[in-house]
Amino acid sequence: MDRQRNTRLEALLAEHDYTHRTLADTVNDVAVGIFGKPGDCTDRHVRRWISGEVRWPWTKYLLPLEQIFDCPAQAMGFLPRGKNSAQLARPPARQSPASKELEPVKRRRFLAASAAATVTLALGIDDTPSQGRLSMSDVDRVQSVIGRLDAHFFAIGGGPLLSVCTTYVDRLRDALDGCIYGDRVEKALHRSISSLYASAGWAAYDTDDPAHAALLHTASLQSALLAADPSAAARAWSNLALQARIEGRHREAVQITRAALDNRRTRQNPHIASLLHARLAIGQAKTADRTGAARSLLAAEKAYDRVNAAATAPTWLAFLSEGELSGLAAIAHQAMGQYDRAEASTVQALDLLPSSMRRSRAFYGVQLAELHLLQGDREGAAATVAALDHSSLDSRRIADRLANVQRTLTA
């Protein structure tokens, strides 16, 4: 019989991000749960299967392969030697409960109930496998969930998302510990965990818990480094710079932001570069570097001008728009005592921000009221507060700032 290349098995290796060596190692690991001892598979075996030199491997290899790829041997492109050989002998007593959970119906688990169960349900957060084989399609589902979490944050603020994000991180860390995957999936999972830690940090910020937020942003950076992802690392550095600014460490905030901008790939990404330059401007304004702040604001505008409108930005950057950049510029102007310019930039931000960005609109609405008060315009502040839409917004930090404005107005 002519040798015929097993293109189906070759495609499975590519789909699940396996090399010949890593597949052989995984076959040996899975064999322990089936036969009670490691297998003796090598990369040479895998090459012979793909080349078609071996068209029906021994059972000690086929059973692990069926578990790894979650499909029967013939679906992997193998051809039985005869009708009897297709009936694989399966050791009845060796299969562990863990390996049985590899069946498609049983391999998924829903997130445990938590204080944020209502939000979890509303977002439609899918269950995440804690055992079995993970592929990029699983990662795509995770990214879809993270996108919905980001949209939820932009709509109502951090509030209940803190426990949702940290619970989801735990699920993904369980997947990292208990599942089988290739290098590409591993890095993608670390990238997802970094994103969730960053979102959790912002949720902690909204609940006015800066110490917890700092820990979460540091964890976000650690996962970004494990993912070897410059964009995720830039996000984490940016959040750590903001954290330093919140805690009054303005020079440190400037140093962190500059360090993030030192990365060439970060500077070349117009979305991230514009955000970092705008936040650098705020730090420079806080340290009385007016020339540097003006230069950074201009750099932020130039970077944003390079944004390709047709390109899709990461979901966590969905908030970044001309309106958001105007709002950030207003913070810098306010820090330099330029209240009239800060007010004009804040008004522009509110004009440009879409209604779906309710959290940002509330944030800059309160900022505008504060600027009115700083300039002695109590009527303007009262009108701005009256026009604020903060119903169902879940951000203690914004709520506390609004309460301070209202107390001032009624004093």
| Domain map (residue ranges) of the chain | 7-90, 116-228, 250-320, 322-411
Distance from chain centroid for Cα 60: 39
pLDDT, one tens digit per residue, over 54-108 is 989 988 899 889 888 878 888 888 887 655 455 555 554 444 444 333 333 333 3
pLDDT for the residue numbered 84? 46
**Cα within 13 Å of Cα(1), Cβ side:** 9
Span 166-187, pLDDT tens digits: 888 888 988 888 888 888 999 9
Residues 238-291 have pLDDT tens digits of 999 999 998 899 999 999 999 999 888 888 889 999 999 999 999 999 999 999
Strongest mean pLDDT among 31-40, 78-87, 307-316, 377-386: 377-386
- pLDDT value of position 22: 85
> Would you tell me how many other CB atoms lie within 10 Å of the CB of residue 368?
26
Beta bridge partner(s), residue 132: 179
The CATH code that applies to domain 322-411 is 1.25.40.10
Tell me if 318 sits within 8 A of 154, measured CB to CB: yes
Length of the chain: 411
Q: What is the pLDDT of residue 319?
A: 86
Q: Is the dihedral of CA 164, 166, 170, 176 positive or negative?
A: positive
Q: Where are the beta strands (DSSP E) in 91-141?
A: 132-133
Is 128:134 a contact under the CB 8 Å cutoff?
no
Q: Give the amino acid at 208.
A: D
- Which residue in this structure is represented by tokens 């499975």? 12
On whether the CB atoms of residues 405 and 377 are closer than 8 A, the answer is no
Tell me the average pLDDT across 17-44.
86
Q: Global pTM?
A: 0.67
Ranges 87-96, 365-374, 382-391: which has the least confidence: 87-96
At 120, the amino acid letter reads T
Provide the H-helix boundaries in 89-229: 97-100, 117-123, 136-156, 161-178, 183-206, 210-227
What's the rounded Cα separation, in Å, for the pair 367 and 275? 19
Q: What does the pLDDT look like over 304-340, one tens digit per residue?
A: 999 887 777 788 888 889 999 999 999 999 999 999 9
Residue 169 corresponds to which tokens in the numbers above? 């991180």
